[in-house]
Amino acid sequence: MIPAPSPDRTARDLYLDLLERCLLNTIYEDAYTDWRQRGVAQSYDPAMRALGRDWPSVAHTMIGQVRLRNLRELAERAIADGVPGDFIETGVWRGGACILLRAVLRAHGITDRRVFVADSFEGLPPPDPNYPADAGDTHHQINELAVSLEQVQNNFAKYGLLDEQVVFLKGWFKDTLPGAPITQLAVLRLDGDMYQSTMDGLRNLYDKVAPGGFVIVDDYGCVAGCKAAVTDFRRERGITEPIEDIDGWGVYWRKPRPTDPAPVLPAALAPVTDGGPRPFWSVVVPVYGRRQYLAQCLGSVLGQDPGPAEMEIVVVDDAGPEDLRGLVGELGRGRVAYHRNPSTLGLYPSTNAAIRRTRGRWVHVLHDDDWVLPGFYRTLRAGIEAAPAGVGVAFCMYTTHDERAGAAGAPAPFRTGPGLLGRDFLARLATANPLNLPAVVFRREAFETVGLFREDLPYTADWEWYVRSAPFVGWHHQPEALACYRVHATNQTHDLARTGRTARDIRRTLETFAAALPAEVAATVLPHARQHHARSFLAAARTAAAAGDGALAATLFREALATDPDAAARSEFTDLLQDPSLAALRHGVRADLLRRLG
């Protein structure tokens, strides 16, 4: 199982999640005005609010759940990647996006960055004849867009976020931005609607965006003048970084870094070379911030311990909030080593670091909340020793224990008796992950041959490794269910699913299979796999929409399209778009499809 997120991260995410809901007012569900029928109040529509297709009467932002979540994710990514600089939005309306940016800094305890809030606070300017792309623009006639500086400051104060790290730039962009006291930017968000306003932001601020920083454009997909300004500026500057769609209207791109790392490739594993005696087993138990399951986990291993000459056992603590050395010493009775990382690495980086420390001929990764049944190690070793020399992976079946539902179940075995699996297993393995990590053991030499786990796929790193290794090593199967996989409320899987990261990781993993699989297998299997997962994303999107999470629903929609280009022609896709509550999502998807066709 995947370790739980740290308490600090959980509290931070809960705070920012709640703040998003407050900024969007999805809690009290205020009425809105349709931008195509101004002045006509309409009842709250969660789909319209999700994609920012309404003008809320009370909410402090009109950019919608999807664009607001994107802003948070990019700001947090800039922080995590160490991109220097402040944050700015040009065109802030009631200030909601900037309030979120200030909250991100507060949540991360950052005091050396500022949020710049740039706006006329009087609405938009009339079209300037020097900018023909703005001819006929009527934004300056829309009174709803004029929000005073005092009101925006008061909105910041309501959240306790009006302080010295917030800098207001009042006036037309052409007057305020050239001399703004900004040295460097990590995030530049442009929401000026018009050609002139967008171009003023780009020409005055783009050069201040640090390498690796993000440029976000709110109205690219819905205001022709805005899109024209972006197109012209990128052409003038020779900017070729891909424009990433957010929700059919908003887009972003990332400024390149001279030292951008190469794509994350599987890390190598050096062989054991000291020549000393080696145990048969190395049991690695990753843990982070949890102690309640360790007794059962370690007890299940120690109960079938063949002794230190045949098994080494190590608990690897990824610098969790509590040092577990004493607990591990008590539970391990001198048989379990404890290693604590100097800093938190993340699940698979920590797991890879632990595997590098192993000396055993076979490695078993057993997360702290999983356990094995009596006979696990004896049965798998007997199967391995009876198998041909080329076997690199062995696995048994497993039982899933769901704490929430109070239920347990086990999938059917792959064959009725023990033995090697044939080529049809590779096709099944590449379609969807049928395994769970506590049931799998790895010959250390297999890692030495094909590399360790990918560290950029927190949800699917094990699945990617299985498929990557299968053409090179044999797989031995034991049909007995001898491992136990626990489902519970603190699984990190739930955290990944809440943001759509699980869908993204599945899509990216399927993309790697095109190169990892034999050509004839890829041609047969991958179309079916893409269709299978796209359908599951659409089903999850329907569930998210029914629960009022429009941002997640939109993310899953787009992952379905990106995974399977034919998803838009399938009945699940068209049926879901007929849902009356998804009118705004339907509009955004239609715009996305038209762009693809164009």
Same domain, 454 and 354: yes
364 plus 507 within the same structural domain: no
| Residue 274 lies inside a defined structural domain of this protein | no
Q: What is the rounded CA–CA span in Å between residue 184 and residue 210?
A: 6
Give the lowest-confidence range in 213-222, 474-483, 581-590: 581-590
Question: Quick one: 484 and 501 in the same domain?
Answer: no
Same domain, 297 and 177: no
Q: Determine the pLDDT at residue 577.
A: 65
Residue 9 confidence class, pLDDT cut points 50, 70, 90: low
Quote the pLDDT of residue 2: 43
Averaged confidence pLDDT in the chain? 88
pLDDT above 70 (res 109): yes
pLDDT at residue 559 in the model: 87
* Terminal C-alpha separation, the chain: 44
**Same-domain status, 172 and 295:** no
Say if residue 301 is in the same domain as residue 431: yes
We report the CATH number of the domain holding residue 159 as 3.40.50.150
Q: Is the model's pLDDT at 333 over the cut of 70?
A: yes
Say whether both 243 and 287 belong to one domain: no
Is residue 43 in a domain? Answer: no
The answer to whether residue 281 scores a pLDDT higher than 80 is yes
Banded pLDDT at 586 (limits 50, 70, 90)? low
Task: Flag whether pLDDT at 484 surpasses 70.
Answer: yes
pLDDT computed for residue 143 by the predictor? 78
360, part of any domain: yes
pLDDT digit string (tens) for 25-43?
999 998 887 666 666 788 9
Residue 356 clears pLDDT 80, i.e. is over it: yes
Does 555 or 399 have the greater pLDDT score?
Answer: 399
315 pLDDT higher than 60 = yes
Using alpha carbons only, give the angle 450, 452, 455 rounded to the nearest 5 degrees. Answer: 130
Q: Which residue, of 237, 254, 271, is where some domain finishes?
A: 254
In a domain? residue 30: no
Segments forming the whole domain that contains residue 113: 63-254
Cα–Cα distance between 554 and 560 in angstroms, integer? 10
CATH of the domain at 442: 3.90.550.10
Q: Is residue 46 part of a domain?
A: no
CB atoms within 10 A of CB 21: 16
Which spans in 395-473 are helix H?
A: 423-431, 444-450, 461-469
Same structural domain for residues 414 and 477? Answer: yes
Query: Do 247 and 116 sit in the same domain of this protein?
Result: yes
Same domain, 526 and 447: no
Q: Is residue 515 in some structural domain?
A: yes
Above 60 in pLDDT, residue 500? yes
Q: Please count the other Cβ atoms lying within 10 Å of the Cβ belonging to residue 84.
A: 15
- Report residue 9 as tokens: 């991260």
Same domain, 214 and 288: no
Distance CA 584, CA 179 (A): 39
Q: Hey, how many other C-beta atoms are within 10 angstroms of the C-beta on 241?
A: 12
Beta-carbon contacts of residue 146 (< 8 Å; ≥ 6 apart): 121, 122, 123
pLDDT attached to residue 590? 55
Q: How far apart are CA 514 and CA 165, in angstroms?
A: 48
**CB-based contacts of 24: which residues, under 8 Å, 6+ apart?**
49, 56, 59, 61, 64, 65, 68, 96
The strand ranges marked E within 77-130 are 86-90, 115-119
* Count of CB atoms situated within 10 Å of the CB of 413: 15
| Position with higher pLDDT, 571 vs 61 | 61
Same domain membership, residue 290 and residue 414: yes
pLDDT on residue 47: 83
Q: Average of pLDDT values for 533-560?
A: 82
pLDDT in tens, 367-376: 999 999 999 9
Strand order in 166-170's β-sheet? 166-170, 115-119, 86-90, 185-190, 209-217, 251-254, 244-245
Per-residue pLDDT at 598? 46
Give the end of a domain, one of 435, 468, 490: 490
- pLDDT, tens digit, for every residue of 37-93? 666 788 988 888 888 888 898 999 999 999 999 999 999 989 988 899 999 999 999
In a domain, 52, yes or no: no
Q: Worst-scoring range by mean pLDDT, 186-200, 280-294, 473-487, 573-587?
A: 573-587
Residue 307 makes CB contacts below 8 A (sequence gap 6+) with: none
pLDDT band at 260 (very low <50, low <70, confident <90, very high): very low
Q: Which of the residue ranges 80-84, 110-114, 563-567 has the most confident prediction, judged by mean pLDDT?
A: 110-114
Indicate the number of domains in the chain. Answer: 3
- The answer as to whether 516 is a domain residue is yes
The predicted pLDDT at position 584 comes to 53
Of 448, 469, 490, the residue that ends a domain is 490
Tell me the pLDDT tens digit for each residue of 198-256.
999 999 999 999 999 999 999 999 899 999 999 999 998 899 899 999 888 999 999 98
pLDDT band at 414 (very low <50, low <70, confident <90, very high): confident
